[in-house]
A and B are shown apart, each in its own frame.
Chain A
Amino acid sequence: MPNEPVTVSRRDLLSLIGTLSGSAAMYQAMTSLGFAADSGYKGPIKLDGDPKGASVLILGAGLAGMTAALELRKAGYRVQILEFNSRAGGRNWTLRGGDSFTELGGVTQTCAFEQGLYLNPGPWRIPHHHRAVLDYCRRLGVTLEPFTQLNHSAFLHASGAFGGAPQRIRDIKTDFQGQVSELLAKATQQGKLDEMVTKEDREILMQALRSWGALDRNYVYKANLISGDVRGYAKDPGGGLTAVPIPGEPIALSEILKSRLWRHLQNFARYNFQTTMFQPVGGMDMIGKAFVREVGEVIRYDAKVTRIQQDDHGVTVTYTDLKAPATPQQAKADWCICTIPLPVLSQLPINVGGRMKAAIDAVPYSSSVKIGLQFKRRFWEEDEAIYGGISYTDLPIQQIAYPNSGYNRAGRGVLLGAYIFGPNAFEFTSMPPAERIARSVEFGAAIHPQYRTEYENGISVAWHRMPFTMGCAGDWSEAARTEHYANLCQIDGRIVLAGEHASYIPAWQEGAILSSLDAITRLHDRVVKA
C-alpha cells in the first residue's frame, strides 16, 4: 500500500491502550506459563481397537485417574485403582458439616457448617472453555450453576488506601477507565497522537473513548448522569417524590493509582476468569462422586503406594493397606497410569528412565490456603448488596469470596474467608489451624466489620499439610517446562503419568482430565499395535 502514511498498526495501538489501562503490563507480570492455554478438547475419546483384555493399574482416584478408569474400561481393559485416601476425588473435594480430616502435624478439624452449606477447598470454579470438564459433567449428570467471578459490588481493599475503607469494584474500575479515557482523549485533541494514529482513526478513537469511558460531550469524565449510568449513584434513582438520582463524585485518578487497587482488575479480565464460569450445584465434589458412581467398584482405598516396579511383562506396585499396615501388598497389571502428585511420586522408588525421573524430581508444588467461615446471616447480601463474586485485598487473606448459591435467603451462610498464595500461604500454613481461622476473621473484619458479631465457626485447608498431595498444584518454572515437560509426559515402558502436573493448565481440573485422555490415547495406541 504505497500511498498510506506511516502509522502505527492497530495492534500497536491496542497495545498502547492496554498499557495505559494497565492490563497488558499486568498480564506480562504473570510469570507462570499455562494461564492462557486453550483447552483443546475435541469431544468424547474414541479408543478403537481391541486391547485383548489387557490390564491397567491406575494410581490415584482423582479426576485424572477416574477418567482413565472410565474410558479404559469402556474400551475393554481390566482396570484397578489404588487410592491413598478413604475417599475418591483427590483435590476435587467439598467440606460439609460433620466432615473431618487430619492434616500433617496431627491436628484434626471438624467442619461445623449448617446442613446445606459447604466449602470447596480445592477447585471451586470452571471456565466455560474447559470443555472436557463440562462434557463429563453433562455425560455423568452433574448439574452446573453460574460461578460469579466479577461482582461489581464486591470490594477492592488496601489497608493503606482510602483510610482502609474498601472500595466497590464498580467505582475503581469505572473511574480508572473514565479518567484514563479522558487523558487519552485530551492527548488526541492536543495532536499528541497525530504521528501514531491516522486522522480517520483518531475521529473514531474519540467516539470510542467517549463511549468506553462514559465521557460527556466535551470528553470529560465527571459526576453526572452519564458516568452515573456506569458507576452508579450517590443516591440511586427511585420512585415517587424522592426519586431524583444524585451522581457520585468519581475517585481521583491519582488516588486510584497510588492505592494500587487497579492491580486486582486483571482478575476479571483474564481468559480463565471470564464469564461464564460454573460450579456444580451442591459442591465441586459432585463431579468426583459422579465418577465414583461409574468406576467406584474398581477403587481400592487406603492404599499407600511404596514402590512402582516395571519389567518386560508388566508393572508391580507395592502398597501398604493403611487399615492393615503390617503386611505390604502388591498389585500387578500389564500397564500403569500413575497420577500420584509429584511431591509424593518423587520420593517413591520407580524404575523409569533418567529423563522421566529427572522430570518427576523437577516440579515442586505451590503453597495455598483456603479458609471457610460460617456466619449467622448473609450480611454481605443484607447489608452490602453483594450477591456472589469476590473481594480482593492486600491483607494476607488476599480474597473474600461470597457464595454463588442460596441467594437472598435468610439464615446462615459460608464465605470463603481467605484464598492465599505466595509467602502468606506459607505463613498461614505454619500456624495451627485455629490460628489461621482466628487471623482470617480478624483480617476480614477490616473489610466487613459484621464479622465480629456474626462469625460462628470456620475450617482451614492448607495444601502443604494435606497428606495426599503435599502441596497445592504443580509449580512449573519456564525453565523446567522447557527441560522436563515433554519427558514427564512420555510413556516409559509400561508406565505413563497423568494429572494436572502433566498439563499446561496447572491447578485446573481440565488439565487433569486432558492429560489423562492424552495419556490413555497414546497408551492404547501402543497396546493395540503390540
Chain B
Amino acid sequence: MMQASENRLALATTMSVALLLLSLPAYAQGAGDPVFSPGFKFVEKTGEQLFTNVCRACHMSDGKGATGAGTYPSLAGDSNLQSSGYPVGIVVNGQRGMPAFGEVMSDDQVAAVVNYVRTHFGNNYPDAVTTEDVRAVRR
C-alpha cells in the first residue's frame, strides 16, 4: 500500500505547492507529521517518530530494508532482535555502514526506537528495553 502511494507521489513533483502538500495522504491526515530537529541531535520522542523520521531513511516504511550495490537489512520478523542488547548496541555504536546514533540520541530515544522496532514489522518481543539498559551499553 505504502509502495503504491509512494510511486504515485513521484508524479506530484510538478504540482503547485499547496496541491503538493494536500496530495500527501499520510501527512494531510496529520498522522505522523514529519519532525525536524533544529540542531545536531534528534528531537523525535516516540519510537514511531524516531523510526518514521530517522530509521525509515534506510530500513524503509515496511522495515524490510532495500538492496542496491549493498543491502540495508530487513528488521521485519527479525530473530536477531530477540536479544535486546544487540539492537541497542547497533543503534548506539553503529555497525559498518550504519552510523552510530549514540551521540545524537538520548538513552530514552534509543530505548524508544528499539522497543518500537521489536514490537512492529512482524516482531513481537515483549521484553521492553529501559533507559538503564541503554546506559549500560554506553559504558
Interface string of A327-347 (1 = CB under 8 A from B): 000000000000011111011
On chain A, which size bracket covers the interface?
35 or more
Which of A138-146, A210-218, A405-413, A468-476 is the contact stretch? Answer: A468-476
Cβ-closest chain A residue relative to B57: A429
Cβ-closest chain B residue relative to A443: B36
Cβ-closest chain B residue relative to A427: B53
B58 is an interface residue with CB less than 8 A from chain A: yes
Cβ-closest chain B residue relative to A458: B13
A528 is an interface residue with CB less than 8 A from chain B: no
- A430–B119 CA distance with the chains assembled, in angstroms: 20
- A346–B94 CA distance with the chains assembled, in angstroms: 13
Q: Is the CB of B6 within 8 A of A423?
A: no
A15 is an interface residue with CB less than 8 A from chain B: no
B86 surroundings in chain A (CB, below 8 A): none
Q: Is the CB of B17 within 8 A of A343?
A: no
Q: Is the CB of B69 within 8 A of A107?
A: no
Q: Is the CB of A364 within 8 A of B97?
A: yes
Interface string of A430-451 (1 = CB under 8 A from B): 1111110111011001000001
A465 surroundings in chain B (CB, below 8 A): 57
- Selected from B20, B54, B66, the residue in CB contact (under 8 A) with A427 is B54
- A432–B41 CA distance with the chains assembled, in angstroms: 22
On chain B, which size bracket covers the interface?
35 or more
- A456–B99 CA distance with the chains assembled, in angstroms: 35
Q: Is the CB of B57 within 8 A of A430?
A: yes
- A378–B42 CA distance with the chains assembled, in angstroms: 35
- Selected from A346, A433, A462, the residue in CB contact (under 8 A) with B97 is A346
Interface string of A284-328 (1 = CB under 8 A from B): 000000000000000000001100000000000000000000000
Q: Is the CB of A435 within 8 A of B27?
A: yes
Q: Is the CB of A346 within 8 A of B69?
A: no
What's the least CB distance linking B106 to chain A, in Å? 13
A sample of 30 cross-chain residue pairs with beta-carbon separation below 8 angstroms, ordered by A number, consists of A104-B68, A105-B61, A106-B6, A107-B7, A344-B69, A344-B70, A344-B97, A346-B97, A347-B70, A364-B96, A364-B97, A364-B99, A365-B97, A365-B99, A422-B37, A423-B42, A423-B104, A427-B35, A429-B58, A430-B57, A431-B34, A434-B13, A435-B9, A441-B20, A442-B21, A455-B16, A466-B68, A467-B67, A470-B69, A470-B70
Name A residues whose Cβ lies closer than 8 Å to a Cβ of B: 84, 104-110, 112, 304-305, 340-344, 346-348, 361, 364-367, 394, 396, 422-424, 426-427, 429-435, 437-439, 441-442, 445, 451-452, 455-459, 462, 464-471, 475
Known: A106-B3, A305-B69. 19 other contacts (CB 8 A): A105-B66, A106-B7, A108-B10, A343-B70, A343-B97, A344-B69, A422-B37, A423-B42, A432-B9, A434-B12, A434-B13, A437-B13, A438-B21, A452-B16, A455-B17, A457-B13, A459-B13, A462-B57, A470-B58
